[in-house]
Chains A and B, each alone.
Chain A
Amino acid sequence: MLPDLGRSLELRGTRLRRHKASRVAVFTLLMSAGVAFGAEPKEWLARMNHALTSQNYVGVFTHVQGGRVETLRIIHRVRGRDVSERLVSLDGSGREFIREGNELICYFPDRREVLVERRAPDGLLLGALPAIDEDNSSVYEIKGGERQRLLGRDTRLVALQPRDQYRYGYRLWIDEKTAMPLKTQLCNQSGDVIEQIVFSNIDLPERISDSQFKPQVDASTYRWFRADRQVADNSAQSDWGATRLPPGFRMAQRSAQAMPGSSEPVAHLVFTDGVASVSVFVEPRKADLKPTEGPSRVGSSSAFSTVVDGHQVTAVGEVPPTTVEFFAKQVKASKTQQPAPAMGLAPQRK
């Protein structure tokens, strides 16, 4: 009697499980239809860009790069056209970056220094989202879009793969519901991961108070450095340009700015392929400082310095080392207008 009962219970259990499984399947189908049917990887990228720039979020993530792991908090607030962002290291250095209005304030408690970077008032940063279009589809390939489970959420894995060695690619795990990138990998052309960001939690609060954009350090006794961006009115400075560019890159901006440690404005040229960007800084070389030459790195940013016509030239970007070297070596002072890199450029000369 009893064994019989046991079997019948078991059978019932099996039926139930089958029942449950079919419900899960139906549910999954419904979700697919509602949320993501027909969405291409490209659309997911667009959604992600929108999510990253148009809404409030507060999150904690780990950043892994070159064997180092750092936990950081990001607080991002959008109020109309005002975007505020705070990035705080939760380990060790206590470094913070707070962007409000057109100022980016960098706190370096370990150096007891504060760097204030000011963007040009007409800076089009908000609108300058990376975009894949006809211009750069020849240099990036967008792949993926398949669903992957990550951290208990449904995500879409989208890969932005470089077609050549001049740029890095991204692998993005984009949350289906919120379009936030829960995990981001920076990869080289062969797919090796160079850098990784993984969120451990994200909130999307409706409001974020001003108090959350205050630094956690008392910086009143630190050394403050201010780098004011200026309209480029120094013709000698703004005539710098690149003679040749890697495929897909164009010059996006040319300006001169004051830099801590420089008595004269530094020419700042920005090149982009729509996703990656490279800055080239040019300043007159000082006789008392020995010239900097060769490659260096800051995190996953590559840099290459060289001396051209008595000027210190440094190219910096989230691109492979060979790319910044290419840029640094192609930058030349010219008395004549450089036609090649002038796409979309509004020269800021007097």
Chain B
Amino acid sequence: MTEERDSQLSAMFDGELPGAECELLARRLSRDEALRAQWSRFSMIGAALRAERGVALHDRVSQRVQTAIAKEAAYGDGADTGATSSQPVPATPVSVKTASNARWARLMRPVAGASIAAGVAALSIMWMRTDVGGPDPMLASTSAEASAAESIVLTPEAAPSTLASNTPGASRAPSNGEPDVYVTPAPSTSPGIAPPARLANYVVAHSEYSGPLSRRMALLGLVAADSENATPEQAGSAQANDNADAATGAADAP
């Protein structure tokens, strides 16, 4: 039932709820606290939208609907159709039709306006949900939502598939274990960096001199493709070295 009412509310917001149902829902809004709360959530979403899109339209819509609800509440005292909250909204109750044309139009006008941003509103719900956590600092693993001053809500396209191979050794302890000792720079006999890795070094060095777009592209190339380039024997030897060096904590190379 709640779900149904939510979808009615959302349809009303979209301007797609049939007139009579809209009328009923408006009355119910005046009575039903939970529903009002839901409505104000929609309004908040409107506020989020407004902040995002720089248009005050939505809030005005919300206010007008609120006004309509207030008036509706006044009317509602006498002319309740008797539909209790547990009952599904009946299809076009005849009694509503004649008396409520003006009210219905009054109510519907702003709602139609609201529909302008409705597509985005649905998305904003997603935004609201992700933002509920508040300004919790992002933990390194999953949540990317910091205290967002502004959020670009995007409709999810195709879910990204994850093709990259699962490589071992990626322990996720949150620590930057930068040692005091560097390999500066490794001598030519160093077994660590072989030609494919050297190419990676070049790309990294090069990326520092690219524009913002191409720089990112260059680094992205490293994220994915370099693992293909690394030959198995190289990976193997690096692994072996690491195991040997792990005890000393710092890096290596004679």
Contacts and interface: CB of A to CB of B under 8 A. Distances in A.
Contacts of B153: 152-153, 201
Interface residues of B, number: 115
19 contacts: A62-B160, A71-B162, A90-B162, A92-B165, A92-B227, A94-B172, A104-B207, A106-B222, A110-B169, A152-B123, A204-B152, A205-B148, A216-B174, A217-B173, A218-B174, A220-B179, A270-B206, A296-B199, A299-B222
Interface string B131-169: 000000110110011111111111111001111111111
A79 interface: no
Nearest to B175: A218
A203 B146 contact: yes
Interface residues of A, number: 136
Given A93-B227, A97-B219, A218-B175, A262 B188 contact: yes
A318 interface: yes
Interface string A105-139: 11001111111110100010100111000000000
Given A205-B149, A223-B245, A297 B205 contact: no
A69 B162 contact: yes
Contacts of A317: 206
A125 B215 CA distance: 11
Contacts of B212: 49, 52-53, 129-130
Given A220-B175, A261-B186, A263-B185, 16 more contacts: A34-B54, A62-B160, A65-B224, A73-B144, A97-B219, A115-B201, A128-B211, A197-B217, A201-B154, A205-B146, A223-B192, A223-B242, A259-B198, A260-B186, A275-B211, A288-B189
Contacts of B129: none
B217 A281 contact: no
Given A217-B172, A260-B185, A224 B178 contact: yes
A304 B93 CA distance: 77
A303 B218 CA distance: 11
Q: Which 10 A-B pairs have the closest CB atoms?
A: A299-B221, A220-B177, A92-B164, A130-B211, A94-B170, A110-B167, A279-B206, A218-B173, A151-B154, A109-B170
A52 to B, nearest CB: 5
B90 interface: no
A31 interface: yes
Interface stretch (B4-12, B32-40, B81-89, B246-254): B246-254
Nearest to A175: B152
Nearest to A71: B160
Contacts of B63: none
Contacts of B207: 104
Interface in B195-254: 195, 197-214, 216-227, 229-230, 235, 238-239, 241-242, 245-246, 249-253
A63 interface: yes
A224 to B, nearest CB: 5
Contact of A203 (B108, B150, B160, B216): B150
A218 B113 contact: no
A214 B174 contact: yes
A237 to B, nearest CB: 15
Contacts of B44: none
B145 A318 contact: no
Contact of B160 (A69, A182, A184): A69
B57 interface: yes
B19 interface: yes
A301 B205 CA distance: 13
A36 interface: no
A225 B144 contact: no
Contacts of A91: 162-164
Contacts of A63: 220, 223-224
A275 B214 CA distance: 8
B2 interface: no
A70 B176 contact: no
A107 B171 CA distance: 12
A163 interface: no
B177 to A, nearest CB: 3
B74 interface: no
A95 interface: yes
A208 B235 CA distance: 36
B176 A215 contact: yes
B219 A87 contact: yes
B152 A202 contact: yes
B144 A201 contact: yes
Interface in A193-208: 195, 197-208
B43 to A, nearest CB: 19
Given A152-B153, A212-B138, A316-B202, A300 B179 contact: no
B120 interface: yes
Given A130-B211, A151-B155, A20 B115 contact: yes
A350 interface: no
B80 interface: no
A289 interface: yes
Contacts of B188: 261-263, 286, 288-289
Interface stretch (A140-148, A241-249, A250-258, A336-344): A250-258
